[in-house]
Structure 1
Amino acid sequence: MSNRRRCAAPLIEDPPSGKRIVGEPGMRVTKKVLLPEWWTRLKCYLDSCYKERQFATNVNHFANLVFRTGSYMSVDFPKVMLLIESSRSSGRELLHGIVNYVRLQGPWSFYWEPRGMGQPAPAGDWRPDGIILRDSERLDEMLAYQVPTVVVGHSKEQVPGMVNIITDSDRISRIAAEHLLACGLTHFAFCGFGNRPWSRARLGAFADQLRKEGYEMLSYESDEGPPGLNGWQQESAMLAAWLISLPKPVGIMGCNDDRAQQVIEACKLAGLQVPEEVAVIGADNDELVCDLADPPLSSVAINFERAGYEAATVLARLMRGEQLEQPRIDVHPTHVVERRSTNMTAVEDAQVARALQYIRSHSREPMQVDDVVRAAGVSRRVLEKRFRRVLRRSVLEEIRRARIAEITRLLVDTDASVLYIAVNTGFTGIEHIARYFRASVGMSPSEYRRSYGRV
C-alpha cells in the first residue's frame, strides 16, 4: 500500500513570525522533502509536522504557492540598500567586504546600481530594512527611511546618531611620512582638498609626524569638485607654480591618489622630474589611478574591504534590533605599495646612498650592520655618524624598518602562513619572527594579520 494519503488544506505557520499560509486541499503527503539550505528554519518545522503526520508537502508546489500568494516573508531576507559608488576602488572594496559577510551570514536582498561618487538614487516603493551609504548630498533623503544606517564618510566629518565609517587619517599620514623620510628627503609638502574633512585631518597628521622628526612642511589646498577641462587648466597652472617654488628635492603627500596623480601631471607642466626632483605618494592604492600616473604612483594601501565586512556585521545586529552604542568603524591603512614615483634615494652622501640601496634590496635576508658597512665601503663608525647626520637614525634602525615593512606587506598582501613568511625572510621560525615583529609593531604577526589583513 502506498504510504501517501490525501489531506485537508494544510495550515503552515512560521513560529518566529506567526504568519500563516493556507495551502490547497489534495496536497500530497510524501516522506522525502528537499529544501534549499536557506530554508533551514522552515524545513525543521516541516519535518516536525511530518512526524506527527499532520501534513507533508511537495516542495515545488509549496514554493509556487508561497511566491504566488506573496507570502514569501515566511523566509524573510533582510532588504539592504547599498548606495556606494562603484567608480572608485575604495567603494568597490567596501562592497566586496559586504558581500563576504553576506556569503557567510546571509542571505540579504540588495538594492544597488552602478554609480559615481555622490549619486545615490532612491529606490521608489522598495522599502529597505537597512542602508549602507556614502554621505552624499542626498543623505537627508536616505535617512528619512528611518531604518538602521551605516554612513561612509567623505564630505562630512561624522553624521550624529549614525554608525560612521572613518578612515584612520593619523596612521595613513604617519605611514606616508615615514616612507618619504626613508627616501632620505629633507623637504616636504602636502597637497590636498580644503573642503574635505579627511584631507584636512591628513594634512594635520602629516605635519605633526614630520615635526616630531624635526622637519617643517608646506601645503597647497583647493576645493575638490568636477572642474572640467577649463577648470583643470587653471588649477594645473597654479599647482605647477607652487611646485616650482618648493625647495628640491621634495617629498609630497597627496591627500589621496586622485590628488597625487594631479601633482604628477602638474610636474610635467612645470618641467620637474618625478621622482628625482619631486617624490610623490598618495593614499587609497587605487590601482587604476596609480597606473594612470606617469611614473606610476606609490600609495598607502587602506583596508576598505575589512571596513565593509565590519559595516555589514554592525548593520546586521542593528536590523535584529540590538541596541548598540553608535560605533565608529575605523578604516586602517596597512602598508605602502611602492611604485616609481618614490623609487629614489635623495641622499647626496654616496656611501649612505649605497648603504640604503643595499638595505632595500636585501630586506628579505638576515642582515647585520657589518654587511651594510661592507657594502658602503667605509668604516662602521663613519657610516653610523653619517646615518645620524643625514637620516637621523642608526643603521640598525633602518635595517629593522625595511625588514618590518617587507614582513607587513607579506602579511597583508598574501595568504602565506607566518611560518612560510618567517623562513623566507631569514628567521629561524615563528617564535623568532614574532619577537622581532612585536618589538617594533607591538603585536605578533598573527595579531597584525587579524587586525589589518584580508577578511
Structure 2
Amino acid sequence: MTSPRKVAFASVFSSACIHRRMRGALSYADSHRGVVIRDFRVPLDMASRTGPIPEVNALTAWKPDGILSFMDNRDFDSLLERVENPVPIVSMAAVNPHPGVVLVGGSMPKMLEMGIQHFRQQGLRMVAMLIFDDDPAVQENCVRVFAAISKISDPSLAVHIEPVSSESLADLDKSVEPVPPGLADWLTRLPKPAGVMTVAYGGGNYLVRACHALGLRVPEDIAVICADDVDLCLCSSPTLTSVEAASEIIGFEAMKILDRMM
C-alpha cells in the first residue's frame, strides 16, 4: 500500500480566516485519496526565540512531505531556518520569494479596488491607506498599488506607514495607548470625513482602537475597511466592513498545487 502524502498546515493564528483555508485544503484532500493534513500552530514570537520550539520540533518530527503555511515574512523565514529537510512549500500569505516556495493568495489590487469603490459610494472624497508591515518591499508595493487604483494627488497624505508587530495587531485586548506619534498626527491631519483601508491581519481593529484613543469618531470621522474575517470584524466596536479573500478557494488551490509539487 502506498504511504499517504503528509501535509503540515502551519500558521501562527487561530482565526476564521485560517479555519476557512484549512477547510479548503481538507476539501481537496477529501476528494483526492492519499493526502493527510495535520494542523500545527507555531508561536507568534517564534522569530524572536533562540532555543528549540516544541511546536516546530513536533512539525519536523512528523516528517511532512509538504507544508502549507500562512504567516508573515518574519515568522516564515524563521520556520524555513528551522526545517532541516527542505520540502515543497506553498504559502497562502504574501512572503518574500524563496526557492521552492509557491505563493497562492488573494489579489490585493482587487481588494483595494473594492474598498475604495465602497468608500466613494458612501460619498467619501478622502480615501487613504494605513500600512503596518515593516518590510520595505511590501511597503513600496502597497503604496504603488494604492496610488494607481485610488488616483490620489498627494500620496504623502493619503498613505501612512506605521510598522506594528503582528503580535500587537493580533492581540485585540492590548492597549494601543499611547498611539504612535506618527499615526496620531496622520489621523488627526486627514481631511474629515475620511475612509482608511488596511490589509494587515488585525489592522482594522487596531485602527479603530487608535481612533477611539484620539477622540476620533468611527465611522463619522474615520471610516474603516479591513481585510479580516468575520470573527475579528465582529470583535470591533463598531463592527467593521471587510473585503476578505476567498479563503476556502485559496486553501483548495494551494493544496492542489502542493500535491503536484510533492
Q: Which of 152, 165, 175 is matched with 2:114 structurally?
A: 175
Change (3 A) 1:287 1:200: farther
Supply the AA of the counterpart residue of 2:216. Answer: L
Supply the AA of the counterpart residue of 1:90. Answer: C
Q: Whole-Å Cα distance in 2 between the matches of residues 101 and 118 of structure 1? A: 31
The aligned residue for residue 101 of structure 1 is: 28
SS in 1 for 2:184: helix
The aligned residue for residue 126 of structure 2 is: 187
SS in 2 for 1:294: coil
Residues 93, 105 of structure 2: 8 Å contact kept = yes
Q: Which of 162, 184, 201 is matched with 2:141 structurally?
A: 201
Residues 177, 210 of structure 2: 8 Å contact kept = no
Residues 26, 37 of structure 2: 8 Å contact kept = no
Q: Does 1:307 align with 2:250?
A: yes
Instruction: Quote the sequence identity (%).
Output: 25
Q: Which of 152, 161, 176 is matched with 1:232 structurally?
A: 176
Residues 283, 301 of structure 1: 8 Å contact kept = yes
SS in 1 for 2:158: strand
Coordinate RMSD, CA, aligned: 2.8
Q: Whole-Å Cα distance in 1 between the matches of residues 180 and 174 of structure 2? A: 10
Residues 67, 87 of structure 2: 8 Å contact kept = yes
Q: Does 1:270 align with 2:197?
A: no
Q: Whole-Å Cα distance in 2 between the matches of residues 115 and 151 of structure 1? A: 15
The aligned residue for residue 66 of structure 2 is: 130
Query: How far did residue 93 of structure 1 move?
Result: 1.8
Structure 1 stretch 141-150 or stretch 176-185: which is displaced more?
Answer: 141-150
Query: How far did residue 250 of structure 1 move?
Result: 0.9
Q: Whole-Å Cα distance in 1 between the matches of residues 210 and 38 of structure 2? A: 40
Q: Which of 28, 34, 56 is matched with 1:121 structurally?
A: 56
Change (3 A) 1:314 1:92: same
The aligned residue for residue 412 of structure 1 is: none
Residues 152, 164 of structure 1: 8 Å contact kept = yes
Change (3 A) 1:283 1:198: farther
Q: Whole-Å Cα distance in 2 between the matches of residues 124 and 190 of structure 1? A: 39
Q: Whole-Å Cα distance in 1 between the matches of residues 66 and 256 of structure 2? A: 12
Change (3 A) 1:265 1:258: same
Greater relative contact order (Cα < 8 A, sep 6+): 2
Query: How far did residue 298 of structure 1 move?
Result: 0.5
TM-score (norm 1): 0.48
Residues 199-256 of structure 1: CA distance to partner in whole angstroms, max 9, x if unpaired?
A: 65333322211217x7865222221313589983233565334222211111111233
Q: Whole-Å Cα distance in 2 between the matches of residues 274 and 125 of structure 1? A: 48
Q: How many residues are matched?
A: 243
Q: Which of 233, 243, 253 is matched with 1:290 structurally?
A: 233
Query: How far did residue 100 of structure 1 move?
Result: 0.5
Residues 352-395 of structure 1: CA distance to partner in whole angstroms, max 9, x if unpaired?
A: xxxxxxxxxxxxxxxxxxxxxxxxxxxxxxxxxxxxxxxxxxxx
Q: Whole-Å Cα distance in 2 between the matches of residues 264 and 239 of structure 1? A: 12
Residues 320-340 of structure 1: CA distance to partner in whole angstroms, max 9, x if unpaired?
A: xxxxxxxxxxxxxxxxxxxxx
Change (3 A) 1:300 1:190: same
Q: Which of 178, 189, 196 is matched with 1:252 structurally?
A: 196
Structure 1 stretch 143-152 or stretch 258-267: which is displaced more?
Answer: 143-152
Change (3 A) 1:86 1:96: farther
Q: Whole-Å Cα distance in 1 between the matches of residues 61 and 41 of structure 2? A: 19
Query: How far did residue 288 of structure 1 move?
Result: 1.8
Residues 8, 40 of structure 2: 8 Å contact kept = no
Supply the AA of the counterpart residue of 2:56. Answer: A
| Runs of 5+ consecutive residues of structure 1 not aligned to the other structure | 1-73, 320-455
Q: Whole-Å Cα distance in 2 between the matches of residues 160 and 231 of structure 1? A: 39
Residues 134, 151 of structure 1: 8 Å contact kept = yes
Query: How far did residue 116 of structure 1 move?
Result: 5.2
Supply the AA of the counterpart residue of 2:65. Answer: D
Change (3 A) 1:143 1:150: farther
TM-score (norm 2): 0.80
SS in 2 for 1:272: coil
Q: Whole-Å Cα distance in 2 between the matches of residues 173 and 116 of structure 1? A: 30
Q: Whole-Å Cα distance in 2 between the matches of residues 118 and 132 of structure 1? A: 19
Q: Does 1:90 align with 2:17?
A: yes
